[in-house]
Homo-oligomer: A and B are copies of this chain.
Amino acid sequence: MNYRIDNLQYCNWSRDIFKINRDAGLSAVHATVVYHEDYDEFLIKLKEWENLFNENSDLIFLGKTFEDIIKAKSENKTAIFFGFQNCSPIEDDINLIEKVHHHGCRFMQLTYNNQSLLATGCYEKHDSGVTNFGREAIKEMNRIGIVIDMSHSGEKSTLDAIDISEKPIAITHANPSFWHSALRNKSEKLLKHLSNSGGILGLSLYAHHLKDGTDCKLDSFCEMVAKTVDIMGVKNIGIGSDLCLNQPNSIVEWMRNGTWTKTKNYGEGSKSKPEFPDQPEWFIDARGFSNLEKGLKKIGFNENEVNDILGNNWFNFYKGIN
């Protein structure tokens, strides 16, 4: 059985988007539930998701284990797996890790760009690595079954997390920096260490992570995939599109600024281009998976390899979460 999985989306969720994901054949989507929200605010987001599940029960349901991906495939639905892009919902309390897991959380970034209580983000000047609390939190996440996601973390923190975690970690949405140098993209050294430890990289389709941004060509993307496979092997790569469909620009402001600054921060954007960037034309939404399929075959991947990259690798990774 083959599965299509997009292991990172943060859309302005609606029935239309769930239909698109279903039409794209996605059996699982890792959905960002919160950025900088604390525990109470996460609980409020949960209520919004309860409504979405109730109103779209023919299209989606809450995914908890890899078996829900199998179920979704058989029912022509999409299992939604919850994730956090920052560790703010666990606040400063290690006991909240078990509680957020109980509410469905399966992926948690240790940082979002800035320093967190657990590790250093990729936008800080200095990276001191995983903190004292971070070590304890990783141990607890391993025990409970929440994947450590280092997509927005600094290099030292990520290497630390790989070494400290007893389970493989994930970088759910980022690209290699050899292709496009950006604070959010990852070095060859890091990618090798990630794959050697059984970890997985979800390749991003977000314009700021792409060579030539919105104008990035499908061929260029697929060449990058081939080179990344040379570094990491074909079993440690998947897709984490980072699609932010229909989000208003106030959301990208929230992602970048949270409540930590009175001076506006533009993150990957700039003062003259603060908005969400446009998607490349061959991946305007999850239906672009079919373009990826064509592109990957064209560059020389065989059927099995294409299926691995477009979902089976993530499926196998999910098997190891609990």
Q: Does A273 contact B (CB under 8 A)?
A: no
Q: Does A49 contact B (CB under 8 A)?
A: no
Q: Does A303 contact B (CB under 8 A)?
A: no
* A124 CB contact (under 8 Å) in B114, B116, B131: B131
Q: Does A218 contact B (CB under 8 A)?
A: no
Q: Which of A50-58, A92-100, A204-212, A285-293 contacts B (4 or more CB under 8 A)?
A: A92-100
* A92 CB contact (under 8 Å) in B88, B93, B95, B132: B88
Residue of B nearest to A131 (CB): B115
Contact A92 B131 (CB under 8 A): no
* A262 CB contact (under 8 Å) in B115, B117, B140: B140
Residues of B within 8 A of A128 (CB): 115, 120, 124-128
Contact A95 B259 (CB under 8 A): yes
Q: Chain B CB within 10 Å — which of A88, A94, A95, A115 has the most?
A: A115
Residue of B nearest to A118 (CB): B115
Residues in A134-149 with C-beta less than 8 Å from chain B: 134, 136, 139-140
A interface, over-half SS: loop
Q: Does A266 contact B (CB under 8 A)?
A: no
Contact B114 A258 (CB under 8 A): no
Residues of B within 8 A of A92 (CB): 36, 38, 88, 258-260
Contact B126 A260 (CB under 8 A): no
For chain A, give the interface size range: 20 to 34
A291: shortest Cβ distance to chain B, in Å? 37
Contact B38 A91 (CB under 8 A): yes
Residues of B within 8 A of A301 (CB): none
A94: shortest Cβ distance to chain B, in Å? 6
A30: shortest Cβ distance to chain B, in Å? 23
Are A259 and B93 also in contact (CB < 8 A) when A117-B115, A117-B116 are? yes
Give A136 to B260 CA distance when docked, in angstroms. Answer: 7
Q: Does A270 contact B (CB under 8 A)?
A: no
Q: Chain B CB within 10 Å — which of A38, A125, A263 has the most?
A: A125
Contact A136 B262 (CB under 8 A): yes
Q: Does A254 contact B (CB under 8 A)?
A: no
Are A132 and B261 also in contact (CB < 8 A) when A91-B38, A92-B88 are? yes
Contact A260 B117 (CB under 8 A): yes
Give A36 to B91 CA distance when docked, in angstroms. Answer: 11
A129: shortest Cβ distance to chain B, in Å? 6
Residues in A216-237 with C-beta less than 8 Å from chain B: none
Contact B129 A260 (CB under 8 A): no
Contact A261 B88 (CB under 8 A): no
Give A263 to B143 CA distance when docked, in angstroms. Answer: 14
Residues of B within 8 A of A124 (CB): 128, 131-132
Q: Does A13 contact B (CB under 8 A)?
A: no
Contact A129 B125 (CB under 8 A): yes
Give A134 to B114 CA distance when docked, in angstroms. Answer: 10
Residues of B within 8 A of A265 (CB): 132
Contact B131 A114 (CB under 8 A): yes
Contact A132 B260 (CB under 8 A): yes
What are the nearest 3 A-B pairs in CB distance?
Answer: A128-B128, A126-B128, A115-B131
